[in-house]
Structure 1
Amino acid sequence: MRIVSAAYDRTIGIWDSITGAEIKQIQQTGWYPIWSIAFSPDGRRIASGSGDGTIRISDAVFGTHVLEILGHTAGVQSVDFSPDGQRIVSGSRDKSVRVWDAATASGILSMHEHLDEVRSVAFSPDGKRIISGSRVMTIRVSDASSGVELLPAMRSHEAQVNSVHFSPDGRMIVSGSRDSTIRVWDSMSGAVVSTLRGHNGFVNSVRFSLDGQRIVSGSSDNTIRVWNVTTSSQVLELRGHERSVESVSCSPDGRQIISGSWDNTIRIWDTTSNNDGNHPILSRHDKLVSAVAFSRDGCHIVSGSSDETIQIWDAKTGSSVSTLRGQTGTVRSFAFSPDDRRIASGSSDRSVQIWDITTSSRVLNLCWHWSDVLCVAFSPDGRRVVSGSSDCSVIICDAISGAVLLRPIVRHVGPITFVEFSTDGSCVKAKSSDESITWDVAFGRRIYDAK
């Protein structure tokens, strides 16, 4: 089983839920913290929402960044995949709920019914409905295709709604609030079914177990609590975190709970016993862990932190495969070579560095840019690397010797945020804030423009 976590230090971690070992660490680009995270249903992708308003899709196997979704004008506080993995729903401080195509990053739907920031969103199990919880104490249920509200706004909480979640059968909704209560709702009528009381602080995260019989909650009172849905009674209280619990999730078999906290740790709990002192602590991040989740197959965990390293771990043994260190600035981007034996990384220290994964050693340090390196990519044969920078330039270097193969192309108006080689390696596509340009690699000539 896997767990995924994200943190204010801009990293995502994937963990083995049995051994507590970190399998992989993904460093997000940008300067803003990761506020939310979700696995795709097949466990191969991770969606993360950031304080800068972007949603990033990462490959959970290789740790590479696949896609960036732009459209929100403020921080993204919650993300969720549809059950078929084809769509992503996001909730933001810009008061909107948006639905995106998970393959193309194009916007499908934009809903603006909330009067204040959206704190939590989720798809129903059949993918036909979306629930969203807001800072102004309301919960809304909308049609996932048309955006039409299916119920009047659900109001019962006395403070902002921090978290919402559908039951596995889609018949109930659970919500957690700053009023310290958890409410269970009938998803068809919008009526309150029960109110769960016991926390002494904000309820920051709530989740149904996969059998729908229990609810797990995390609170600023530093505890995780487990509730019986039928009797509305508390059945378990888990203590160990030293600060507020920001996120909780259940394993597919229901035997484990993971939690992320302001104390910078991720913890795994056995729900069959109240063993407060005998649970694994996965890692002590430099900053708070804001989101955690299990993969659908339960084999991994994903999380986040900003120590500016790239880490890779073995999923079966829980042992660390490699920890890549060396850049003096924030790692803004990285890419695997086609044979997965090397990694190219771009940094705010203006360098592009090539790493050997097998030996965990740096083999090249390329310092040709004048500002942050925002994107890097290998050629299909792995012999060249292209980089784009906030200095508005694109540079192509020999990935073996480090020699510059093509003089810096400085014809963009804005920072270069995306570069890639064509499948035959003859062209490079570079995207900036002003335009997308395709360049002939041999001569550096512009051959195609797209605004």
Structure 2
Amino acid sequence: MRPILMKGHERPLTFLKYNLDGDILFSCAKDHTPTVWFADNGERLGTYRGHNGAVWCCDVSRDSMRLITGSADQSVKLWNVQTGEQLYSFNFGSPARAVDFAVGDKLAVITTDPFMDSPSAIHVKQISRDPSDQMGESVLTIKGPQGRINRAVWGPLNKTIISAGEDAVVRIWDSETGKLLKESDKESGHKKTITSLSRSADGSHFLTGSLDKSAKLWDIRTLTLIKTYVTERPVNAVAMSPLLNHVVLGGGQDASHVTTTDHRAGKFEAKFFDKILQEEIGGVKGHFGPINALAFNPDGKSFSSGGEDGYVRLHHFDSDYFNIKI
């Protein structure tokens, strides 16, 4: 596999997201400008200018017309994907960390970091078809969990919201009332900050990655722990193949602890695990620094990784990959 190297960011990558068709890829980084690329050849299509802080997360609507981005500049912005025009800006009193469109794209969940006196919170916003009708008010605000909420996504039929973050607990909330329905067990759950959360293609289960050097697979309705994947370094990003039973984990130490030998020691590779057997089946090297973002193309034939080194690496799988036997 010869990766395509995409250099469009000045600073470390934070998040990657394919659109539903899998033909374009969005990248977020600490350099304020989310960027969109062609997913087959890595050609840069354009950038979205308007944020004044690191962009932590993004999501794209099902019809690939709207992009939503959350940033450290305390705003979440809606963009026209084609023109790059800013349609609306939700402003908060604290940095916005995670964003996720609901099925149907009429709602979005946004999390904000603890800042000054305000605790972390989960906000649900209504998204209007016509940007001129867009309102800034939240339909629901949930306050409560201690520490930063790194990820929040919608559960089945938009009835629930799943959140996870600094306190290492996965929680399921009722998306209408804001009531806490379930939280992960201290014994079976993660022991350190949960950095990433990724839903399966069919929405029946999800994967969390944590600084405790493991990733865990959960049932999205019951929050039952299904599988645990153990690696030898903190996990910053996780993704699941929509095609095969493969899970990919990326990570590495915090940038401040990095020594020059780590790259050669293979500490910065994306590691593939068998989803069912929980065994490591391979790795993809290449980044000069921890991997912060991973995404699988919805067709399962390629994946991309974003690193602390500012590069996005796009990998199209060889035919051998589809015949891996364990």
**Alpha-carbon deviation of 1:30?**
4.4
Aligned to 1:248: 238
Distance 1:307 1:133, change over 3 A: closer
1:138 matches 2:121: yes
Distance 1:31 1:168, change over 3 A: same
C-alpha distance in 2 between matches for 1:293 and 1:75: 19
C-alpha distance in 1 between matches for 2:303 and 2:315: 12
**Alpha-carbon deviation of 1:143?**
1.0
Aligned to 1:60: 39
Contact 2:237 2:250 (8 Å CA) reproduced:
yes
C-alpha distance in 1 between matches for 2:316 and 2:239: 22
Q: Tell me the TM-score normalized by structure 2.
A: 0.83
C-alpha distance in 1 between matches for 2:104 and 2:160: 13
- Unaligned stretches of 5+ in structure 1? 1-20, 320-451
C-alpha distance in 2 between matches for 1:311 and 1:202: 26
The superposition leaves residues 327-376 of structure 1 with CA deviations (integer Å, 9 ceiling, x where unpaired) of xxxxxxxxxxxxxxxxxxxxxxxxxxxxxxxxxxxxxxxxxxxxxxxxxx
The structure richer in strand per residue is: 1
Distance 1:50 1:318, change over 3 A: farther
Aligned pair count reads 294
Alignment of 1:28-427 (within 5 A): 28-112=7-91, 114-136=92-114, 137-145=120-128, 146-197=134-185, 198-240=189-231, 242-253=232-243, 255-262=245-252, 263-275=267-279, 278-305=280-307, 315-317=317-319
The superposition leaves residues 173-215 of structure 1 with CA deviations (integer Å, 9 ceiling, x where unpaired) of 1111101111111222222111013111001112232333322
Across the aligned residues of Structure 1 and Structure 2, the Cα RMSD in angstroms comes to 2.3
Letter in 2 for 1:268: F
Distance 1:312 1:248, change over 3 A: closer
CA radius of gyration, larger in: 1
**Alpha-carbon deviation of 1:81?**
0.9
Q: Tell me the TM-score normalized by structure 1.
A: 0.61
Contact 1:292 1:302 (8 Å CA) reproduced:
yes
Aligned to 1:334: none
**Alpha-carbon deviation of 1:83?**
1.1
State the secondary structure of the residue aligned to 2:271: strand
Aligned to 2:256: none
Task: Provide the identity percentage.
Answer: 23
C-alpha distance in 1 between matches for 2:300 and 2:310: 27
The superposition leaves residues 357-411 of structure 1 with CA deviations (integer Å, 9 ceiling, x where unpaired) of xxxxxxxxxxxxxxxxxxxxxxxxxxxxxxxxxxxxxxxxxxxxxxxxxxxxxxx
Aligned to 1:420: none
